[in-house]
Amino acid sequence: MEIDDLSSNMEAVAKAKGNLEKMCRTLEDQLSELKTKNDENVRQVNDISGQRARLLTENGTIDTEQQANAFLQ
């Protein structure tokens, strides 16, 4: 009787271990995908920030030119 209980418990533990290992692999895959997506989002933010800085500089140059032209007229 006791051996049967131990055997059942061992089977349950082995099954639970297998399920937890499968869940762990799934979570590791999800983490990897999220890291990849995050890296892409960071690149996009950096690209957009660079574009914004260039546009602000360009806009400042245009404003300065317009002010100079208005002053000269």
pTM given for the model: 0.66
What is the total count of domains within the chain? 1
- Render pLDDT for 12-71 as a digit per residue (tens, 0 to 9): 999 999 999 999 999 999 999 999 999 999 999 999 999 999 998 988 887 777 776 776
What is the pLDDT at residue 38? Answer: 98
Residue 73 is given by DSSP the state -
Tokens of 46: 């950096």
Question: What is the CB neighbour count within 10 angstroms for residue 10?
Answer: 10
Element (H, E) at 22: helix 2-72
State residue 1's pLDDT score. Answer: 72
Q: Where are the beta strands (DSSP E) in 1-73?
A: none
Tokens linked to 29: 């895959």
- Distance CA(65)–CA(59), nearest Å, equals 10
| Domain coverage including residue 30 | 1-73
Q: What is the pLDDT of residue 73?
A: 67
